[in-house]
Amino acid sequence: MADAAERIKDTVTRNPVVLFMKGTKTMPQCGFSSRVAGVLNFMGVEYHDVNVLTDDAIRQGIKDYSDWPTIPQLYVSGEFVGGCDIITEMTLSGELDQLFEQKGITYDKTAAEKIREANA
């Protein structure tokens, strides 16, 4: 069995979009994870979810891997993007749309605009 860092690297390189979260995309188990999963789900982004609550090695390992102390953590094309506050900010500013476009990630632009309108 590979160590946590190897498993994390494998997961983020094999999947275009990965969310390390508490719970799952259909059953988030914390408000911050729920918010990021909700944004991705609403925008129709296909992503791989990793429930850190089921694996202590991954739960601590992802914090070490990204050098970021909190969960959730979003990765796009193998790169750490941020946690809940950063993703929320990027969604509202349109930066997340730009990142998805640059990386060739399919998402619903109309849904992204609805999020911005609702939070204007």
pLDDT tens per residue, range 29-40: 999 999 999 999
Burial of 1 (C-beta count, 10 Å sphere; 0-12/13-18/19+): exposed
Q: For the residues of 1-27, what is the DSSP string, one character each?
A: ---HHHHHHHHHHHSSEEEEESB-SSS
Q: How confident is the model at residue 50 (pLDDT cuts 50, 70, 90)?
A: very high
Q: How confident is the model at residue 120 (pLDDT cuts 50, 70, 90)?
A: confident
Estimate to the nearest angstrom the gap between the alpha carbon of 33 and the chain centroid.
9
pTM: 0.96
- Please indicate if the annotation marks 30 as binding a ligand: yes
**DSSP 3-state of 118:** helix
Q: Please give the domain boundaries of the chain with CATH numbers for all domains.
A: 4-118 (3.40.30.10)
Q: How confident is the model at residue 1 (pLDDT cuts 50, 70, 90)?
A: very low
| Across 79-101, average pLDDT | 97
